[in-house]
Amino acid sequence: MTKYIYFVFSLIMITAATSLEAGNPDRQGEAGAYELLMNPWARSAGLHTINTSCIRGAESMRVNPAGLSRVGKTEVLIAHTRYLEGTDLKFNALGFSQKMGKNSAIGVTLMAIDFGEIPVTTEALPQGTGATYSPSFFNLGLGYAHTFENKVSVGVTFRVISEALSNITAFGFAIDAGVQYVTGPQDNFKIGISLRSIGSPMQFSGQGLSQQLQSPDADFNNTYFARANAFELPSLLNMGASYDFILDEKNRLTLVGNFTSNSFSSDQYGIGLEYSLNDMFMLRGAYRYETAENEDSRSAYTGLSGGFSIEVPLKKESNRKFGIDYAYRASQPFSGTHNIGIRFNL
CA 292 from chain center: how many Å? 21
Query: Does 137 score more than 80 pLDDT?
Result: yes
**pLDDT at site 32:** 86
Tell me the C-alpha distance between 113 and 163, whole Å. 10
Do 58 and 96 contact (CB within 8 A), yes or no? yes
- Using alpha carbons only, what angle is made at residue 144 by residues 140 and 148, rounded to the nearest 5 degrees? 160
* pLDDT per position as a tens digit, 80-120: 999 999 888 999 999 999 999 889 999 999 999 999 888 88
**pLDDT at site 315:** 84
Q: For residue 62, give its domain range.
A: 2-345
Nearest partner of 53 among 280, 255, 197, 198, judged by Cα = 255
Q: Which residues pair with 204 in a beta bridge?
A: none
Report the CATH number at residue 129: 2.40.160.60
* pLDDT per position as a tens digit, 253-270: 999 999 999 888 888 999
Confidence of residue 271 (pLDDT cuts 50, 70, 90): very high
Instruction: Give Cα separations from 10 to 176, 299, 308, 313, 322 (angstroms).
Output: 15, 31, 36, 40, 38
Q: Which residues pair with 304 in a beta bridge?
A: 287
* pLDDT per position as a tens digit, 274-298: 999 999 999 999 999 988 777 666 7
pTM for this model (two decimals):
0.87
> What single-letter amino acid sits at 248?
D
Cis peptide before 119 (omega within 30 of 0): no
Structural domains in the chain (count): 1
